[in-house]
Structure 1
């Protein structure tokens, strides 16, 4: 075993975090020390240490685990040291199956301080899978206990969120567990101002969320994050019963769904959720809150059609140069006017333009790219030579890495023969480890560069013909197809228009766009 290539995987569990909160030793450092002692006892050379800071439920939420699994599948590691098998996968059966299969197909051993698991030994495999099953069962039990505890706290009037709503700060409850909310005087004034504007208007004028946003931004009142106000933020504030001394539970519970073969998470607003009396004081009186709810119910957003098709060929591509948000299409079907491209954020003064005009400018920019940036044959030859040079450098680094690993393996012989003391052994081992890490990093960097050069050649060969094809057939395509092809060719488009068009004149205000194509640098 000692001549193999081994990695170490460290991850905190929820129980570890609770233990640290009680003042116990930092978990990863303790586990790392234990596994290095195990490696020394088994004469195993650890080439890499992977530390997972997050405690995600699924593999998709654990980037370090994803990287380790990818390397395991490539056969890089002969074994992985871990404190217990439960640290590898605590998610659902799909994730556990992915982990089990990766170790089994690559014949990678799992090494713990008490046992070595061979995934291709039927008894070890059964023991390993049973360990994962028990881990999942324990995780679900802990999660249910935590959820029950959080719900019980909400019903007691305690605030269980990490981030307080605008207008409040989160404070510890004296002589009790948990937190409640305390009004922040300056922000509380703004909350009351927003509710009064929406409920009663200003100087006889009705004030909707867009007008309130303009008013707050004109007064240079910052949001909780220090940015500009937008209508959705105001609507969320007006809907939130926290301002009348209530608490909501499970209004936006996390839900899972499978999209394109991957598990994705979303937090849709629930139609039914629990509302409890809070321990915190109200900022808004009940009468004003009811008036706002009545007005909000009359101004519900239109439901999004499930069969909605793309009508904006530039959808998702055009970026407002002033505020950085994506610009959208505004139709004028009732008046017969042409659709315009606008920045949807009310605080932004970037002027809109007819969508067709911007579309024409984008096509002209693509035509210029075709004219000015056609790839010369010599360019492809240069990139091919670069790839050959990089491959030679990669081969040299791999040879160097192999030599360093042999040197590190021989350290154990010198230790056993008494030539090296433990201190000298560890010093030399760490030095070689640093050299191995440097060589490994250089290998990965060279592989990335080779892949980038190969991709550059491919994109260069495909990009101009795709542009020419788009220009030839553009007028025959529908909006979704135009948008699909444009997104293949363009990363994004910056848009700027400082002045409005002057009515009854033939001269329009200047529009500036900058098209960023998906071509290699």
Structure 2
């Protein structure tokens, strides 16, 4: 009695359109028919729907590769080599894994034998598939540009308020966008809230969240999302398809609001921006953009509450938080921290001899151990050696002088080594820049301090802000201490206990 051959089937399609046209089903049916004709017993089926053959990162293929050592099947059936991978080197890599596990591969339209000639033909077919893929991609790109210029929807992100009408081959109708009335109602509401109630984008986002209106992707409404939607010309009937980096092709689509409403909305958005809190000059904040939250590291913003100015983390509002969760970093009174930082900076600038001594010490320390040039040369030589080793290992694998397991292990080691060397090189660049800045600062420091110190008491608010942004890199207020990171040596400053509140979600003023 002949031994039954057990097989696994692998199928792949690369786009959602192919999924909908059921080409993966046609592959499966062809493979099942092939197996039945040869009295193969199908043990497993592995599918990758909507995955490109230009990469090996596919769940179905990963599961197949993991199952090679299970002994569940002796043969893998695949429709054609390009269904396995579009690149010849990827095909060779996976087939090598199968051979190591003593599993054979059979392609329906390309019988493969174990002779050198058979392997050569398979590799050539992989190269032809790569060429054909590049040719198809370029043909598709030029075709899309042509049809877009004819006013046909050819791709791009579908705007909120619209839905795709798929191409109808039978009636010769090409793909287009039509209004999604449920979402379009929300769009019209947003324009009405903007023009009739003069709501800000933040207020509209908050209202949409409270009304539990779903977004297109199921995420949370954000002010930036609302702002982007209201600026979109699609709602007045013009969708823009990006044909290249610098070219946008206008495509007519059904309008959701009339052009007059859209233009009025743009004027109101401009007015909102002028009077937004971030542009409100009624209450000025000297350290805007310099103070960071001690808890999450985000920038702190200025807010006015209960008759005083404060700084608080901009991630306190869940609409601004990246992960949708509020930060409990707390707040700090603006006046005490601004006075403390200003006094520290001006006090240092009024004593240039102390600053110069500190800079001389730093430069002396650097020069005593200055090996930047030699270190850089050594790292660059090491990087070139890594590149040569990678090329040699790849050549050895392609010439079958190296097993797949050894190839992977050695390449992983070299990639890790390359990352380490690149990190060392970046650190050298940082050190070199720092040394250059310190030497340049020392040459101009005394005259700069003398010039600045003479007019420190007469600076305007804008001039003070510019000076601080020139000198200070970041400020963190934590546990009653102001930590100042600056290009000049500065000491930390202590604040009074009542000037700060870092208790999570307690007593935090809302701007």
Task: Please give the TM-score of this superposition, normalised by the length of structure 1.
Answer: 0.47
Task: Please give the TM-score of this superposition, normalised by the length of structure 2.
Answer: 0.48
- Decide which structure has the larger Cα Rg and report it: 2
